[in-house]
Structure 1
């Protein structure tokens, strides 16, 4: 029998890409560097290059790895391949914004569920992201806390253990994310109910997120966080 929104006690969230608009943050920073260099940068091309560079064998934790990524993609974009610019891209994460609907939707959901962040970002960056979202989280797990990154099942196991210690179980969790690769596919394999927030529904391709080997049909599917919050409120009002 399919689950309803009333069946969950916890909503677990991917943060970067689902709640925080990292693609806009990356493009804005690169555009600023490009203006100073007197060149033009195509944002979608930059995301494609970023995706390829980000998922290389020598990748570091996110967003620290952006300093390395910048040096890898700068020559292909006609940008100065100098370390200070890479550090500038890394540090831009401190100012990345939430999607326009994120903070308001999270505030609404926090009135009904315990919200748990599950992010591949390091703790220093997550702290900025959380503030941008209005600090809605009951608990948070970062790459620093888990020692790994999604889609590694070990990341999820850390969260399962936390919830089990409170007397909860997998069946109490709805996992919410935009990344098919990092979240939706693995959450299905681990037996979670999931909700896909298709942020790029009006755009082609996967942007800055790695393409999954196969598409996983989610249990719930929305194109915004606002739509999820609306659906939750409608279900609870019925």
Structure 2
């Protein structure tokens, strides 16, 4: 793939730029300890992933804080333990405080020297605004689940993205998508004919964590273990070669 052929990169945020697994586990783990549920973090995240995806599929217009609060309640039912409204509300309100990956802000700054950047996120506007205080990203467009009335891997985000490109003066062939989740992003990117790169944040860990396994065909053109590695490759691609 010629990385210099693109003018715009769209990004998933949670799992790619923001460490949502750490943010979710910061609530689920103490709850499990309080309830004396003997499971490890990966088991908690796996149960939660299935619950969140189901809620998003069943209630596509529900705001993300309410989605994750309900996903927490369903996670509790999987372990036959009720989740109090206090615990559910704690997770629902936690999104703006989730940490960024250490390399995200610096990598976005470098990538912005070569591309216009777009956010394509399964979250609400206020949640992303809080996250962007950590990312400090200069985004040409921000497309959230609240804006499109649906959650990836449905097509809503990508159809809205297509409608946004002409306003930015960008052709579809000049757009690249970057994301961690095969389920949420690389499946619909393939379905929509959008080239993508996999930011494989879990490259050193087995399993899927807080993301369900992909249920349809997926593909990606390049794989990087981090945003920093992606930015390095882009910087190298744009570096003039000596004659």
What is the TM-score normalised by the length of structure 2? Answer: 0.89
Task: Kindly state the Cα deviation for residue 123 of structure 1 after the two structures are TM-superposed.
Answer: 0.8
Q: 1:113 maps to which residue?
A: 115
Q: Which whole-Å CA distance do the structure 1 matches of 2:214 and 2:96 have between them?
A: 28
Q: 1:50 maps to which residue?
A: 48
CA RMSD of superposed structures (Å): 2.0
Q: 1:130 maps to which residue?
A: 132
Q: Which whole-Å CA distance do the structure 2 matches of 1:166 and 1:217 have between them?
A: 26
The structure 1 segments of at least 4 consecutive aligned residues displaced by more than 6 Å after TM superposition are none
Whether contact under 8 Å (2:153, 2:184) holds in the other structure is yes
Q: 1:74 maps to which residue?
A: 76
Paired residue secondary structure (2:126):
helix
Q: Which whole-Å CA distance do the structure 1 matches of 2:66 and 2:224 have between them?
A: 31
Q: Taking structure 1 as reference, are residues 189 and 80 closer, same or farther at Cα in structure 2, changes over 3 Å only? A: closer
Task: Kindly state the Cα deviation for residue 159 of structure 1 after the two structures are TM-superposed.
Answer: 1.1
Whether contact under 8 Å (1:196, 1:220) holds in the other structure is yes
Whether contact under 8 Å (2:190, 2:217) holds in the other structure is no
Q: Taking structure 1 as reference, are residues 147 and 107 closer, same or farther at Cα in structure 2, changes over 3 Å only? A: same
Paired residue secondary structure (2:65):
coil
Q: Which whole-Å CA distance do the structure 1 matches of 2:12 and 2:130 have between them?
A: 15
The answer for unaligned runs of 5 or more in structure 1 is: none
User: For 1:99, which of 101, 112, 115 is the aligned residue?
Assistant: 101
Whether contact under 8 Å (2:49, 2:211) holds in the other structure is yes
What is the TM-score normalised by the length of structure 1? Answer: 0.91
Residue 202 in 1 paired to residue 204 in 2? yes
List per-residue Cα deviations over 1:57-85 (Å, max 9, x = no partner). Answer: 54544232121122222355586621111
Whether contact under 8 Å (2:8, 2:115) holds in the other structure is yes
Q: 1:212 maps to which residue?
A: 214
User: Within 5 A, what are the aligned runs for 1:16-55?
Assistant: 16-34=14-32, 42-55=40-53
Q: For this pair of structures, how many residues does the alignment match?
A: 236
Task: Kindly state the Cα deviation for residue 35 of structure 1 after the two structures are TM-superposed.
Answer: 5.2
Whether contact under 8 Å (2:190, 2:219) holds in the other structure is no
Q: Which whole-Å CA distance do the structure 2 matches of 1:70 and 1:148 have between them?
A: 19
Q: Taking structure 1 as reference, are residues 46 and 134 closer, same or farther at Cα in structure 2, changes over 3 Å only? A: same
Task: Kindly state the Cα deviation for residue 137 of structure 1 after the two structures are TM-superposed.
Answer: 1.6
Q: Which whole-Å CA distance do the structure 1 matches of 2:74 and 2:30 have between them?
A: 18
Q: Which whole-Å CA distance do the structure 1 matches of 2:191 and 2:160 have between them?
A: 16
Q: 1:172 maps to which residue?
A: 174
Whether contact under 8 Å (2:66, 2:92) holds in the other structure is yes
Q: 1:225 maps to which residue?
A: 227
